[in-house]
Amino acid sequence: MKHETLYQMLRELAEKLDITVSEQNFRSTGTAARSGLCIVRGKRMFLLDKHLPVRRKNEALGECLAEMAVDQVFVLPAVREYLDRLRPAAQRRDT
- Helix, strand or coil for residue 2? coil
Q: Predicted confidence band at 89 (pLDDT cuts at 50, 70, 90)?
A: low
Question: What average pLDDT does the segment 10-16 reach?
Answer: 96
Q: Tell me the residue length of the chain.
A: 95
Task: Judge contact between 60 and 35, C-beta under 8 A.
Answer: yes
Greater confidence (25 vs 30) lies with 25
Domain with residues 3-89, CATH architecture:
2-Layer Sandwich (3.30)
Greater confidence (41 vs 26) lies with 41
Phi, psi dihedrals of residue 69, rounded to the nearest 5° = -80, 110
**C-alpha to C-alpha distance for 41 and 95, rounded to whole angstroms:** 33
